[in-house]
Structure 1
């Protein structure tokens, strides 16, 4: 069995791209039924304030201390990469939003073995549909679309039930030296940082499988 731990933030375009590149590698991996995946919470900016009134372009330029033109170039590069991986990404219209509540929902989904589906749904809401992923009503609707009861979703968002799980994921990331996401760890031994090419993920999977089998 291969254990793959993935630290990710649904605000991160490269996490979305990395998820799909890893999944493309997994499709080609002969022993994919022996791969267990666990998603972990990671906030790129825990202090970001949700503000649907400002443009993401404006926010990025200010946060990175760059010009609007440079921010546009960054967006164009990410969108081109997304398109090459079959993903739609509307970065300029995406909503500036804190991802903490989304991570609470991911932790709830993990307890229902629906983490992968929740990650995908949140990525689509944020990047493809340009929705506010800090809107609790939206998050409840996403949870319901995956078969999670509205009462459970609202309780997860309005209580501290999953706060410790989010914190523990972030502390674990600190312990192993995660500086950015996506971050993939294979069998607690090999780490892959960033949205690497699918072939890179496939090579690591095959190497780990050979070691495990031996």
Structure 2
């Protein structure tokens, strides 16, 4: 069995991140048949680190940030919903959907790696935000997500209250920015090969096979 390392830089309010991860899962399932498997490590990237506590209407935010018209925004939502359906993920966009700051979510996610619960927590948070429309900056939402992911609630509360984890998130994000990562999702294979964006599974299979063959 050839093992490769994949570092995933993402944000839980990024729709292309969950699509990219689901496509990666499909690729890895195919590669298992060829004795190639991956260890995944997740890293923080805040799309909106300066977002105010109450968040902002998502459609207004997209219009301000990218200059998108209401028609373009609606078209993008329809496209994402269809792509989500193709990979087995449900997007439930609504007119009152809001975008939130994700610093606290990333604190929990960074800590969860040492508990080997990072993947579970990522999936719960993606679903909480995109499928259930929850506020992923709300500590109670985060504690519920942690509990669903198999993490002790009291321990999760301590992580959320610990400024050192907030500082660790900020420091890690800065390192990725300095490394040239300014958009997500970003997949770094064996710490040296970058795959940007939500690539199709067949493209991922080809790229990962090439890396594995070089390694093997």
Scaled by the length of structure 2, the TM-score of the pair is 0.91
Instruction: Find the aligned partners of 2:4 and 2:68 in 1 and give their Cα distance.
Output: 41
Instruction: Find the aligned partners of 1:60 and 1:49 in 2 and give their Cα distance.
Output: 15
Paired residues in the alignment total 212
**Residue among 152, 155, 165 paired with 2:155:** 152
Aligned partner of residue 122 in structure 2, secondary structure: helix
Deviations 1:15-42 (A, max 9, x none): 0100100011000113566421110000
Confirm whether residue 72 of structure 1 aligns to residue 74 of structure 2: yes
| Structure 1: segments with no counterpart, 5+ residues | none
Instruction: Find the aligned partners of 1:74 and 1:58 in 2 and give their Cα distance.
Output: 14
Change (3 A) 1:90 1:109: same
Give 2:47's aligned residue: 44
Instruction: Find the aligned partners of 1:51 and 1:167 in 2 and give their Cα distance.
Output: 20
8 A Cα contact 1:10 1:99, kept in partner:
yes
Confirm whether residue 143 of structure 1 aligns to residue 146 of structure 2: yes
Scaled by the length of structure 1, the TM-score of the pair is 0.92
| Structure 2: segments with no counterpart, 5+ residues | none
- Give the alignment of 1:119-134 within 5 angstroms: 119-134=122-137
Aligned partner of residue 137 in structure 2, secondary structure: coil
Give 2:83's aligned residue: 81
Aligned partner of residue 180 in structure 2, secondary structure: coil
Instruction: Find the aligned partners of 1:149 and 1:86 in 2 and give their Cα distance.
Output: 28
Instruction: Find the aligned partners of 2:175 and 2:5 in 1 and give their Cα distance.
Output: 16
- Give the alignment of 1:1-214 within 5 angstroms: 1-30=3-32, 34-51=37-54, 55-92=57-94, 93-213=96-216
Aligned partner of residue 40 in structure 2, secondary structure: strand
Worse-matched range after superposition: 158-167 or 11-20: 158-167
